[in-house]
Structure 1
Amino acid sequence: MNATNAVNTALGIGVLVLGAIGAKALGAVLPWPDPLLLAVVIGLLLGNVVGIPGRIEPGIQTHGLWLSAGIVLMGASVSLGALLDGGPIVLALVVGTVVLTVIVLEATARSVFEIREELGSLLAAGTGICGVSAIAAVAGSIDADEETIAYAAGTVLLFDAVTLALYPALGSALAVPEQVFGIWAGLSMFSTGPVVAAGFAYAEIAGQWATITKLGRNALIGLVVLVYAAYYARRGTDANAGAAALWAEFPTFVLGFLVLAVAATAGLLSAEQVQFLETTYDWLFLLAFVGLGTELRRSVFVRGGKAPVVVVLLTWAVVASVTLAVTWTLFG
C-alpha cells in the first residue's frame, strides 16, 4: 500500500470513528434508540445523503474487520456455562432453522415464482446462513454470474435494513423475554451485523444470545457451500469449492470468540481485563455499524427486483413465526 492509499484508508476509518463518537454522544442524551442503531442510521445518512468519496471507500470497507474483532473480544463476556445449559437445544434449533429456511425458499422460488435456480440458491444461502457473505461463498462454488449475485445481495441487504429496525420494536411490543429475543433474532435474521445490533439494542443478554446463535448458523457455511457445490457439479455446473476455498470462506473469528470464552469461563481473565475488553468491543461494534449503514444504499435495493423480495418475505415470515413460537415455548 503506497502513502496515498494509506492516507485514504485512514480517512475512511476516521469517518467510521467520527460516526461512532457521534452515535455514542447521541445515545447518551437520547432515551432511544440504542447507540448501535444510531450508528447504523449515521452510516445510512452518510451513504445515501452526504455521499462517500470513492477514494476513502477502502477505509469504510474495514467495517467487516471491526465487527469480526468485536465478536472475538465479546467472547470474554460470555459465560460458556450458560451456553452449555441450552447448547444442545440451541444447536438443534440452528440446524433445524437452516434446513427449514433453505427448503422453504428453494421450493417457493422454483415452484411458485419460477426464479432461476442459481438465484434461488443464493437467496437461500443468504437467508439461511449469514447474508451477503454466504451469497458470495455459494456464488463462488456454483459459478453464478455478477447480475445474479447483485440481485441476491440487494434483496438480502433490503431485509437487513428492515429487520434491524423491526425486531426490537416487535420484541418490545410482544414483551419477548431477553433470552428468547436473542435466540430468535439469531435464528431468523440474516446478516451477522444486524443480528448483533438488534440483539444489543434490545438488551445485553439478548445481544449475547443473538451473537452466539448467529455464530452457530455462520459455522454451517462450509457445509452449505459443499452441498450446493456437489448439487451443481452433479448437474454439470462447474464447482470449485475445495478444502482451501472452504477454509477461506469459513468465519474464523468464531475460533477467537471461543478461545476467549473458554479463557473467561476458566477464570483466566480478571474482572478489570473483562471490563476493558467489553468497552473495546462496544466501540468496535459502533465502528462496524457505521460502516454497515453505508452499505444500505437505495441503489443496491433496487437491483433485487420484486420476485426475490416476495420469495424472501414469505420465507422469512414462515421461519420467523415458527422460530419465535418454538423458542418462546422452550426458553420463555
Structure 2
Amino acid sequence: MTPRDVSRPLPGLLLLVVGGVLAHLLSTTVLGVNRLLLAVGLGVLLANAVGVPEWAAPGVGTHNRWLELGIVLMGARVAVDQLLSTGPLLLLLVVGFLGFSLVFVELVAREVFEVPERLGSLLAAGYSICGVSAIVAVSSGVRAKADQIAYAVATILLFDAVTLAVYPAIGRLLDLSDVVFGVWSGISMVSTGPVVAAGFAYSEQAGQWATITKLGRNVFIGVVAVLYAVYYARRDSEGSSAASWRSLWEQFPTFVLGFAAVAAVASTGVLPAGVLSLFERGYQWLFLVAFVGLGTSIEIRNLRNTGARPLLVVLASLLTVSALSLLAAVLAFG
C-alpha cells in the first residue's frame, strides 16, 4: 500500500467529519432535531443538491467502516446481564422472523406480483438479512443480471429512507418502550445503518437494543448466501456448489465478533470508568460521521426509477413483518 492509497480517502473523510460536527451544532444550538437524523439529512442534501465531489468519493465510501467500528465500541455500553436474560427469546424472534421474511418475500414475489425468480430472491435476501450488503452477497450465487441487482438495491434504499423517518414517529405515537421499539425496528427494518439511526433517534437504550437485534440477523448473511448458491446451482443443473467454511467466513460480518468481545470484557468490570466514557463518546461520534455518509447513498433520482412490482413486494412484506413483529415484541418485552 502506497502513501497515495492511504491519503486518497482523507478529503472525503474530512467532509464526513465536517458534516457530523455541523449536524451536532445544528442539533444543539439551532434546530433541536436529533443529530443523527440531521447527519443523514445533510448527506441526502449533499448527494441530491450538488452531488458527492469526485475527490471526496473514496473517503465518503468508507462510511460503513466507521459504522462498524462504532458498533464495536458500543459493545462497552451493553448491559450483558440483561441481554443474557432475554437472549434465548430474542434469538428465537430474530431467527423466526428471518425465516418467515425469506419465505414470505419469495412467495409474494413469485405468486402475487410475478416478479422474476432471481429478482425475488435478491429482494428476499435484502429485506430479510441486511439490505444492500445481502443483495451483493447473494447476487453471484443467484446469477442475477445487473439490472435486477440495480432494481433490488434501489428498492431497498427507498425503504431504508422511508422507515428511517417513519419508525421513530410511529414508536412515539404508540408510546412504545425503549426495548420494544429497539427489538421491533431491529427485526422489521431493512439495513443496519437506518436501524441504528432510528434506534438512537428514539433513545440510547432503544438504539442499543435495535443494534443488537439487527446484528442477530446480520450473522446469517453467509448461511443464506451459500444456501441460495447451492439452490440455484442445483436447479440450473450445473453441478453442486459446495458450501465451504471459507465461503461462510467471507460473508460473515466479522465486526460482530469485535462487538461481542468488547461487551464481554466490559461486563467483567475491568475497564475504568474513563475508558467506558471514552468508548461511549467515540461510538456516538463515529455514528455521526457514518450517517452523513449513509445519507449520501440515498439518491432521489435513482429511487424514482424503481419498478413498481419490486416496490410492492417489499411494501407488502414490510407491512406484514412490521405488524407481526411489533405484536411479538410487545408480548415478549412490553
TM-score, normalised by the number of residues in structure 1: 0.96
| Match in the other structure for 1:264 | 266
* Residue 154 in structure 1 maps to residue 161 in structure 2: no
Asked whether the equivalents of residues 141 and 229 of structure 2 are also in contact (C-alpha less than 8 Å), the reply is: yes
Partner Cα separation in structure 2 for residue 241 and residue 307 of structure 1: 32
Partner Cα separation in structure 1 for residue 134 and residue 118 of structure 2: 13
Alignment of structure 1 residues 1-332 onto 2, 5 Å: 6-30=6-30, 32-236=32-236, 242-332=244-334
Partner Cα separation in structure 2 for residue 287 and residue 39 of structure 1: 8
Deviation at 1:147, TM superposition (A): 1.1
Asked whether the equivalents of residues 33 and 201 of structure 1 are also in contact (C-alpha less than 8 Å), the reply is: no
Asked whether the equivalents of residues 34 and 201 of structure 1 are also in contact (C-alpha less than 8 Å), the reply is: yes
Deviation at 1:5, TM superposition (A): 5.5
Deviation at 1:8, TM superposition (A): 4.1
Structure 1, unpaired ranges of 5+: none
Asked whether the equivalents of residues 199 and 206 of structure 2 are also in contact (C-alpha less than 8 Å), the reply is: yes
* Residue-pair matches, total: 332
Asked whether the equivalents of residues 199 and 206 of structure 1 are also in contact (C-alpha less than 8 Å), the reply is: yes
Partner Cα separation in structure 1 for residue 68 and residue 18 of structure 2: 20
Asked whether the equivalents of residues 226 and 247 of structure 2 are also in contact (C-alpha less than 8 Å), the reply is: no
Q: In the TM superposition, what whole-angstrom CA distance separates every residue of 1:265-316 from its partner, at most 9, and x where no partner exists? A: 1112111111000000111101110000000002331343111001100000
Partner Cα separation in structure 1 for residue 160 and residue 33 of structure 2: 17
Asked whether the equivalents of residues 164 and 198 of structure 1 are also in contact (C-alpha less than 8 Å), the reply is: yes
Partner Cα separation in structure 2 for residue 198 and residue 245 of structure 1: 32
TM-score, normalised by the number of residues in structure 2: 0.96
1:233 maps to amino acid: A
Partner Cα separation in structure 1 for residue 144 and residue 229 of structure 2: 11
Q: SS of the counterpart of 2:55?
A: helix
The RMSD of aligned alpha carbons is 1.5
Q: SS of the counterpart of 1:175?
A: coil
Q: In the TM superposition, what whole-angstrom CA distance separates every residue of 1:173-205 from its partner, at most 9, and x where no partner exists? A: 110111000000000000000000000000111
Distance 1:319 1:202, change over 3 A: same
Distance 1:143 1:313, change over 3 A: same
